[in-house]
Amino acid sequence: MLIRPYLQSVSLTLRQKIELSRQEVSTVFFPSSGLISVIIRNRTKHQKSEVCAVGWESMTGASVVLGHSRSSVDMVVQMEGEALAISSMDLRRLVVVSTSMRECFLRQAYLLFIQTAHGSMANVKGSLENRLARRLLLAHDRSLTAKLAITHENLADVLGVRRAGVTVALQRLEWQGAIKMARRLITIVNREKLESCAGGLYYAPEHDPEFETTESQNLLSAVGTAKTLQYKKPLI
């Protein structure tokens, strides 16, 4: 595959800054584990909110794929993991040479748009409990583990709410049997119940038959990780 010689294996460390708003994007990452939060800030940077997240099923660098050198968002590692990385300069050259690669990466940008759109609806229509359940489902799907190393403070930060409110909502989810809490760890014990608690506001494009066997698997094949990671919808 054309892209493979340019890829390097890297570790994603907690709170690592992958991209910063209004700054040049130097590297594009294809995670195989872990979770990266995509965060938007207002113009004064006093307020922020997570708009989507990137895991095994996607990639960073959407702005690069769309022809922009600077990012309009912050991307920060929320759960540690591993990834393949390529310089933005090399990726730009490759997508000019390979039409199929360019189309694949453009579809990934589209999937992030879908995730962002559904997140916007959840922020407007959902209660804090709905939004929290949706966020845990999103992390579950993209990290491929039921044990989520996420703190109450992290969740409050990405949801743009007070920590106390997150703690109360998590307690309600635990009382309903959807999750189990421990220090710096949330374990999903009943996914079906958690989906119910999301109130119908969670949609994962990678579970849609239209995308499941084409978009994500094409991306994994393109970066050479399909042989080491075969995705299946997490079951609890």
pLDDT of 61 reads 95
pLDDT of 226 reads 44
Is residue 127 helix, strand or coil?
coil
Q: What sign for the dihedral angle of Cα 225, 205, 55, 177? A: negative
Mean pLDDT by 10 residues, the chain (236 residues): 88 95 95 92 78 91 92 94 95 91 88 90 93 94 88 90 95 96 94 94 70 56 51 42
pLDDT of 143 reads 83
Q: Which CATH class is domain 127-197?
A: mainly alpha
Contact 34, 114 (CB under 8 A): no
pTM for this one? Answer: 0.86
CA distances from 154 to 15, 39, 111, 151, 188 (A): 10, 12, 24, 5, 17
User: Which part of the chain has CATH 1.10.10.10?
Assistant: 127-197
213 phi, psi to nearest 5 deg: -100, 0
pLDDT of 145 reads 85
Q: Tokens 């660098």, residue?
A: 61
User: Which part of the chain has CATH 2.60.120.10?
Assistant: 4-98+105-120+206-223
pLDDT of 46 reads 72
pLDDT of 207 reads 62
pLDDT of 17 reads 96
pLDDT of 104 reads 87
**Annotation: CATH topology of 4-98+105-120+206-223:** Jelly Rolls (2.60.120)
CA distance 161 to 55: 23
pLDDT of 41 reads 84
CA distance 15 to 74: 11
pLDDT of 214 reads 55
pLDDT of 128 reads 96
Return the number of other C-beta atoms located less than 10 Å from residue 69's C-beta: 13
